[in-house]
């Protein structure tokens, strides 16, 4: 019993002592962060509107009832988990849940980049994706002004139209992008609110 106490006490003490010193966003001191601006937040909202609008266009999904299709999410990123505020042992002290802000931002940036490249590669004769593509770029530029993207030249696929399988995939991926954008917008709003209280 006393042995257990001896083992536990120093680490508990360390935890208690280190908690009040810890602040969200300060875990990686050398990272220079751009603040989340009003522009960034509003571009995120416009993007969601544009994706929703694109999903309602029948010309993009000819022969497919997109409402009935499943959602295909981008699994190359961990945005939903790293952007979710977590309960931590210290949250009682700091009054704020722990939040992996740096990974959250990185994952958001990777998501946007991923979806931009996917959408840019779609044949889009009716220009049903143009507004969404433009919107994604706006979010990237306003939320991550320091990032350099070398491969964002809008190189539309040469093919004049897409096949049934391609339209089906577009529908599922776009639905996933809609869900992901809701997560992204919530996270950007959260980061902004934390920044305002610091
Ligand atoms: C995209 O959203 C913006 C802002 O709501 C709007 O002005 C624009 O018309 C939208 N584009 C489409 C195609 O819905
Ligand atoms: C697509 O499916 C939904 C849900 O099953 C249905 O409510 C809607 O009427 C369908 N739309 C068309 C154009 O068939």
Continuous segment of H or E residues that includes residue 193: helix 164-197
Residues pairing with 167 in the sheet: none
Closest ligand 1 atom number to CA of residue 130:
13
Residues pairing with 98 in the sheet: 86
Give, for ligand 2, the residue of 59, 62, 67 to mutate: max count of ligand atoms closer than 8 Å to Cβ.
67
Residue 82 CA to residue 100 CA, distance in Å, equals 6
Please list, in sequence order, all residues whose beta carbon lies within 8 angstroms of the beta carbon of residue 63, skipping any fewer than 6 positions away.
164, 167
Unique residue bearing structure tokens 């939903």: 80
pTM of the predicted model as reported, rounded to 2 decimal places: 0.78
Give, for ligand 2, the residue of 64, 65, 70 to mutate: max count of ligand atoms closer than 8 Å to Cβ.
65
Residue 153 CA to residue 121 CA, distance in Å, equals 11
Q: Is 67 near ligand 2, meaning CB less than 6 Å away?
A: yes
Q: Is 56 near ligand 2, meaning CB less than 6 Å away?
A: no
Residue 105 CA to residue 85 CA, distance in Å, equals 13
**Residue 69 φ/ψ, nearest 5 degrees:** -80, 160
Closest ligand 1 atom number to CA of residue 49:
2
Residue 149 CA to residue 152 CA, distance in Å, equals 6
Going residue by residue through the chain, which has 198 residues, state the pLDDT in tens, using 9 for 90 and above: 444 444 444 444 344 333 344 444 444 444 457 789 999 999 999 999 999 999 999 889 999 999 999 999 999 999 999 998 765 555 455 555 567 889 999 999 999 999 999 999 898 888 899 999 999 999 999 999 888 776 676 555 566 778 999 999 999 999 999 999 999 999 999 999 888 876
Give, for ligand 1, the residue of 131, 138, 174 to mutate: max count of ligand atoms closer than 8 Å to Cβ.
131
- Taking the CB of residue 67, how many other CB atoms lie within 10 A of it? 10
Please list, in sequence order, all residues whose beta carbon lies within 8 angstroms of the beta carbon of residue 128, skipping any fewer than 6 positions away.
54, 57, 59, 60
Burial of 88 (0-12, 13-18, 19+ CB in 10 A): middle
């Amino acid at each position: 019993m006393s042995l257990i106490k001896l083992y536990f006490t120093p680490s508990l003490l360390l935890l208690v002592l280190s908690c009040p010193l810890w602040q969200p966003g300060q875990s990686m001191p050398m990272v220079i962060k751009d603040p989340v601006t009003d522009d960034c937040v509003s571009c995120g909202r416009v993007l969601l509107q544009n994706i929703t609008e694109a999903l309602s266009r029948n010309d993009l999904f000819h022969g497919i009832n997109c409402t009935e299709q499943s959602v295909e999410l981008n699994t190359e990123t961990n945005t939903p988990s790293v952007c979710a505020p977590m309960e931590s042992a210290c949250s009682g002290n700091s009054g704020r849940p722990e939040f992996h802000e740096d990974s959250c931002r990185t994952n958001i940036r990777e998501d946007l980049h991923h979806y931009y490249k996917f959408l840019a590669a779609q044949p889009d004769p009716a220009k049903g994706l143009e507004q969404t593509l433009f919107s994604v770029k706006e979010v990237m530029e306003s939320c991550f002004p320091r990032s350099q993207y070398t491969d964002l030249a809008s190189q539309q696929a040469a093919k004049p139209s897409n096949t049934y399988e391609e339209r089906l995939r577009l529908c599922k991926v776009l639905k996933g992008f809609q869900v992901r954008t809701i997560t992204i917008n919530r996270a950007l709003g959260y980061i902004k609110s934390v920044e305002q209280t610091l």
